[in-house]
């Protein structure tokens, strides 16, 4: 009863062998893309020996095995401030793409350099759903939410130091945001953000 998407594989805590077996089985029984998250290169190589069409994304540590028609509908915008949040931002983007959504990235912007962000406010207003990923710059979803009218999915990351406390600080920042239309997912949960964004993006379709 899931919306046209087979269960993804969350790799941590599984042996390479287990992952390969699950991937093969899902690829055979389903007519949908298969997605594995938090996968190392060695896991990818093992999967690849069995399913040569598997694709690896180094930054997000995801494996995608495509099947059937590849859609690219709607308009999801992934926003991120810093280089170190890219793995989580890309996990979100790859997940959303694997679920058949058109995804754009805006990775060159933060609140300290507010003018750069403001100069792109038109793009922020055109997206149908926004995913905002931030660890040190946890205020970003509030600012984006103040500029855009569409739903914003905020993803705190555990990147940072000191009073970041493993992502607790951006998590609380995002939950307390005064800008309306923001929903928060777990710290570092790019997969969950991409999945939720896909549901929303395809809601009216």
Q: Which residues bind ligand AMP (CB under 6 A)?
A: 7-10, 37-38, 82-83, 91, 112, 178, 180, 189, 191-192
Using rule CB under 5 A, residue 113 touches Mg ion = no
- The option from ligand AMP, Mg ion, a copy of itself, none interacting with 9 (CB < 5 to 8 A, set by class) reads ligand AMP
CA-based Rg of the chain, rounded to a whole angstrom? 17
Q: What is the DSSP string of 168-186?
A: HHHHHHHHT--SSSEEE--
Q: Considering only 24-32, 40-48, 53-61, 184-192, which stretch makes contact with a copy of itself by CB under 8 A?
A: 184-192
97 binds, among a copy of itself, Mg ion, ligand AMP, none (CB under 5 to 8 A by kind): none
Return the residue nearest Mg ion (CB atom).
145
Of positions 100, 135, 141, 145, contacts Mg ion by CB under 5 A:
145
Q: Which of 59, 108, 126, 149 binds a copy of itself (CB under 8 A)?
A: 149
Neighbouring-strand partners of residue 73: 101
Which residue stretch of 29-37, 55-63, 101-109, 182-190 sits at the interface with a copy of itself (rule: CB under 8 A)? 182-190
**Distance between CA atoms of 183 and 170, rounded to whole angstroms?**
13
Binding mask of the shown chain, residues 101 to 140, with x at each position contacting a copy of itself by CB under 8 A: ---------xxxxx---x------x--xx------xxxx-
Residue 184 C-beta-side C-alpha neighbours within 13 Å: 22
Residues 6 or more apart whose CB falls under 8 angstroms from that of 142 comprise 173, 174, 177, 178, 179, 182
Instruction: Pick what 199 binds: a copy of itself, Mg ion, ligand AMP, none; C-beta below 5 to 8 Å, kind-dependent.
Output: a copy of itself
Other CB atoms within 10 Å distance of the CB of residue 69: 7
Which positions from 2 to 21 touch a copy of itself by CB under 8 A, shown as an x/- string? xx---x----xxx---x---
Can you tell me the distance from the alpha carbon of 199 to that of 141, in angstroms, rounded to the nearest whole number? 20
Q: Is the distance from CB of 32 to CB of 4 less than 8 angstroms?
A: yes
């Amino acid at each position: 009863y899931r919306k046209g998407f087979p269960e993804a594989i969350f790799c941590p805590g599984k042996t390479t062998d287990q992952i390969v077996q699950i991937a093969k089985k899902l690829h055979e029984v389903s007519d949908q893309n298969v997605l594995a998250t938090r996968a190392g290169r060695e896991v990818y190589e093992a999967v690849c020996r069995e399913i040569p069409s598997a694709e690896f994304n180094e930054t997000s540590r995801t494996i995608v095995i495509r099947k059937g028609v590849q859609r690219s509908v709607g308009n999801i915008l992934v926003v991120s401030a810093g280089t170190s949040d890219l793995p989580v931002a890309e996990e979100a983007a790859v997940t959303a793409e694997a679920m058949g959504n058109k995804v754009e990235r805006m990775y060159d912007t933060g609140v300290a350099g507010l003018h750069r962000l403001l100069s792109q406010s038109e793009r922020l207003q055109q997206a149908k759903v926004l995913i905002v990923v931030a660890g040190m710059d946890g205020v970003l979803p509030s600012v984006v939410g103040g500029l855009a009218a569409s739903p914003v999915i905020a993803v705190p990351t555990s990147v940072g130091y000191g009073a970041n406390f493993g992502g607790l600080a951006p998590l609380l920042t995002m939950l307390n945001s005064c800008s309306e239309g923001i929903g928060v997912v777990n710290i570092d949960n790019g997969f969950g953000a991409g999945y939720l964004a896909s549901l929303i993006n395809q809601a009216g379709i």
